[in-house]
Amino acid sequence: STEVPSYVTKCPSNGLCSRLPPDCMTCNTNYSCIYGKPATFDCRVKPHVHCVDQNNHEQENFTINMTCQFCWQLATTDYVCTNSTNCMTVSCPRQRYNATCTVRDHIHCLGNRVFPKMLYCNWTGGYKWSTALALSITLGGFGADRFYLGQWREGLGKLFSFGGLGIWTLIDVLLIGVGYVGPADGSLYI
């Protein structure tokens, strides 16, 4: 009996070879590529993986185009990291924690697809969303919500324009309500 390798479950059958996840192919490292520049890599599908070219002809050898960079150098949107369970929410300076990050399936990069990374803990300066929203509804015309969040320039603008004659006040109630406007120091609400 022939045993099917575990990676086959991640590999779609009869799709384009250039669209296969990295676990479904082996590629020759292009050592002449220049960091940050487009590069072409010669690849081969792994055993038990079936894919086609643009003309629906089955192929085993193909090339892919990607940016020449290591996996740990990717943009933060291209990988997923574990969250910390021992971060303090209120701390100064901001704490960091060791995370294990995994590159998303559709992204191609050089090196290990699972790598360690030091990430900042989510932190808060002690601002409450409910307090900011209550201030925006009741005293928003005087800029109390913006003063509370540490945005004193906007607070002065609202104070001296009577909340933008009410329009700025209504907009701020909506923006604070959905969480678009937050503390000036970049922290999260409690």
pLDDT for 185 equals 75
* Strand intervals (E) in the chain: 15-16, 25-27, 38-45, 51-52, 61-67, 79-81, 96-103, 114-120
H-type helices in 13-151, by residue range?
129-139, 144-148
pLDDT for 127 equals 86
Per DSSP bridges, beta strands 15-16 and 51-52 are parallel
pLDDT for 151 equals 92
High-pLDDT (> 70) share of the chain, %: 91
pLDDT for 93 equals 66
26-47 average pLDDT score: 84
Report the amino acid identity of residue 175.
L
Give whole-number Cα distances, 9 to 49, 53, 123, in Å.
10, 20, 39
Would residue 163 be called left, alpha or beta, if left means φ above 0 and alpha means ψ between -120 and 50 degrees? left
pTM of the model: 0.54
